[in-house]
């Protein structure tokens, strides 16, 4: 068997599938049928999906769920969540319902600044470089006007450009560090286009700068690229209520409950091994909404985890306090999101999700996403400090086990009735199914 292939990208989709099926599968017909089974029956819609990426052979589905009853700044939302993990949507919905009767969630966008950099190497007199930058800075703005004019009409554009000396980290290394406002667009293409023009202008003007020696004129541009670390594009989400108002059927001692939450958060603030899992739970909520609304969850993940490490150690993204008998639970995270451009105007379910959210601005979407993360975190901490995380999670996971064993309707009912009063585990469920079928 020879797995190498030449000219794969030039093959039709059917030819790609035929090659894969014959090369890697003992039953090529079965493999081909599986891939085609996930094609959309609407040919135009399938063509749209095919063109999102390269070498497309089929669609890979994720469930799209909804978590209703989110009160955010006094407005009711039903939040879309695209995720494969059991209990995430249920947990978010449970938190939404809990806080809806306690004032709801409050969210505030603290800043929306995004960052891009031109990385370059310069060998020469640093003072000359600084003088050169001051002289040509206005030209960096003017020569990007054709790129920025439409963004400026919407209230965005280039905010500032700085020269940064990074030679203490790497010999001869400097940056043009630029900040941007991109309004309702995530802005990656806009920022990168501006940065590439900066590099062209910077390099060309260096050749004309009389104070530079021949060596100093030879500025080496390494790359021009936006940063997914956006520590000044921050949103805060919080919930708060008097401690007494935390009481409900499963919270008989609200002060003890609040103190347990605070201790759990404090552990995540000081212990990286716990913080990573703690923040992963937050990102269950964040990523699910980011994905459902057509945004880049990989960029969000990278930026958020860098932010969690900004003070030299990895720590919790959420925090909690009790002051004057009021419990407050909050999160501040960097989120560079968009509601126009990219998939937002192409993917039918992204458009559906945004319309269900009543076509939010980028800032409103930042608030919704942060709230989803906070809600998920509250649900996880509530379970961890009371019943334990596995009770609810494994009951939700039971469906996956039943599907794995292709349980009938009657078997499902019998099994679910049994596990109402028994601890769910994968081995317990498997054993019960086998015993049930063996007794027939």
Three-point CA angle 121, 123, 127, nearest 5° = 105
Q: Which of 18, 49, 50, 85 is the catalytic position?
A: 85
Per the annotation, the verdict on 149 as an active-site residue is no
Is residue 104 within 8 Å of residue 313, measured between CB atoms?
A: no
Q: Which of 106, 137, 200, 280 is the catalytic position?
A: 280
Per the annotation, the verdict on 217 as an active-site residue is no
Alpha-carbon distance of 365 to 372, in angstroms, equals 11
Per the annotation, the verdict on 143 as an active-site residue is no
Per the annotation, the verdict on 296 as an active-site residue is yes
Q: Which of 119, 296, 347, 397 is the catalytic position?
A: 296
Measured CA distances, 384 to 165, 265, 427 (Å): 47, 11, 22
Per the listing, tokens 């049930």 go with 436
User: Which pair of structure tokens corresponds to residue 424?
Assistant: 């769910």
Alpha-carbon distance of 269 to 335, in angstroms, equals 20
Is residue 341 within 8 Å of residue 190, measured between CB atoms?
A: no
Q: Which of 217, 347, 393, 397 is the catalytic position?
A: 393
Which residues are known catalytic residues?
Answer: 85, 280, 296, 393
């Amino acid at each position: 068997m020879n797995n190498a292939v030449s000219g794969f990208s030039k093959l039709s989709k059917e030819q790609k599938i035929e090659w894969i099926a014959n090369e890697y599968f003992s039953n090529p017909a079965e493999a081909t049928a599986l891939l085609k089974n996930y094609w959309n029956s609407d040919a135009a819609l399938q063509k749209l999906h095919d063109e999102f990426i390269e070498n497309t052979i089929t669609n890979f589905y994720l469930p799209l769920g909804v978590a209703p009853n989110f009160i955010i700044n006094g407005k009711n939302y039903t939040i879309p969540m695209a995720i494969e993990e059991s209990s995430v949507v249920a947990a978010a919905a449970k938190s939404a319902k809990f806080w809806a009767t306690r004032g709801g969630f409050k969210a505030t966008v603290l800043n929306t600044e995004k960052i891009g950099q031109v990385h370059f190497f310069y060998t020469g007199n640093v003072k000359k470089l600084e003088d050169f930058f001051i002289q040509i800075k206005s030209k960096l703005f003017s020569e990007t006007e054709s790129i920025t004019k439409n963004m400026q009409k919407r209230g965005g554009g280039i905010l500032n450009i700085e020269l940064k000396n990074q030679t203490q980290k790497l010999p001869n290394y400097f940056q043009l560090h630029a900040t941007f406002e991109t309004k309702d667009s995530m802005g990656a293409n806009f920022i990168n286009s501006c940065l590439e023009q900066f590099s062209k202008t910077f390099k060309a003007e260096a050749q004309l700068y009389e104070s530079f020696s021949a060596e100093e004129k030879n500025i080496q541009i390494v790359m021009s690229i936006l940063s997914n670390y956006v520590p000044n594009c921050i949103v805060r989400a919080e919930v708060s209520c008097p401690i007494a108002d935390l009481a409900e059927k499963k919270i008989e001692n609200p002060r003890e409950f609040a103190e347990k939450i605070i201790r759990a958060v404090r552990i995540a603030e000081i212990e990286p091994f716990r913080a990573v899992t703690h923040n992963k739970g937050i990102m269950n909520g964040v990523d699910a909404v980011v994905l459902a609304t057509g945004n880049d969850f990989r960029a969000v993940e990278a930026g958020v985890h860098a932010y969690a490490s900004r003070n030299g150690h990895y720590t919790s993204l959420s925090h909690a306090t009790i002051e004057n008998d009021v419990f407050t639970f909050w999160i501040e995270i960097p989120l560079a999101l968009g509601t126009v451009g990219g998939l937002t105007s192409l993917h039918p379910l992204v458009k559906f999700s945004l319309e269900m959210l009543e076509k939010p601005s980028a800032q409103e979407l930042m608030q919704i996403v942060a709230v989803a993360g906070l809600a998920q975190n509250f649900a996880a901490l509530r379970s961890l400090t009371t019943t334990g995380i596995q009770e609810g999670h494994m009951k939700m996971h039971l469906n996956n086990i039943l599907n794995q064993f292709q349980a009938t309707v009657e078997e499902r009912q019998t099994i679910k009735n049994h596990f109402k009063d028994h601890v769910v585990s994968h081995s317990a469920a498997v054993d019960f199914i086998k015993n049930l079928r063996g007794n027939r």
